[in-house]
Homo-oligomer: A and B are copies of this chain.
């Protein structure tokens, strides 16, 4: 079976691709495990020297012809991760809608045109939530995004559910917590600090944290989010019912708790590299984000959170081959 991953050159998409190579099989449209014959990664850019077992196609997810070529007619499964991140979609309204809405619709239309209705897993986000929020959100909380990115993600979820209802595809949308620890460099996402406070100090650099240490983060590790994508794909259609979007489990960690864990794991000299440099623009966005959830639906479906922030940091250290002092 052929698999298509939009945003497959990105951090999570590429990790997902390597995880799928490792597995070797996925549930086909009939629900039976089938050998993966090809994984196509579609993105604007790719890691240097990508795994030769992966087919990398460079292109724009909002370009009809490019998506049409890359998403081959006999594709069995689609993972749609391509997106302009929150800060980017907020800074460039038109670009955000072009990629996050027009691109989404192109992928859905192409999926609809495939030989068989594919399973499709969509990366949504807890940026869906905002405005006046309960202290603890749950599966009944109504999305009320306060960023264009969040609005585009919610709209994408409704499209996935409608295309699924019509039988055009078998869709599943995951509302991702903030992914921590992302390797690499800070990016335009307003949530960039949530990884930076661990990553930069572990790399020997100072991290300028734009939010106060009391700020809470609802987070999930790269390992767990990749497992969530695979699990979302593997679940039977009947496990999803008519509502195709689910809040993934996560853990709530304050910046202070994160820095304390960093101190336990890497020592005082590393933890001291987190410095507070308030940024009103970031604080305003982050203040609107949900911090605590109950996720009974996802847990009943078999999705899992990380054990604790210490485990998240230790996994990052192991995955990136970082040597501690």
Contacts and interface: CB of A to CB of B under 8 A. Distances in A.
Contacts of A159: 151, 155
Contacts of A155: 155, 158-159
Contacts of A130: 242
Interface range for A: 20 to 34
Contact of A154 (B158, B165, B243): B158
A interface SS class: loop
Given A155-B158, A159-B155, A146 B242 contact: yes
Contacts of A148: 162, 166
Interface in A125-183: 130-132, 140-146, 148, 151, 154-155, 158-159, 161-162, 165-166
Nearest to A141: B142
A93 interface: yes
A140 B132 CA distance: 11
Contacts of A161: 144, 151
A158 B165 contact: no
B243 A144 contact: yes
Contacts of A145: 158, 162
Contacts of A140: 140, 142
A54 B61 CA distance: 43
A166 B242 contact: no
A131 B242 contact: yes
A158 B162 CA distance: 16
Interface of A: 93, 130-132, 140-146, 148, 151, 154-155, 158-159, 161-162, 165-166, 241-243
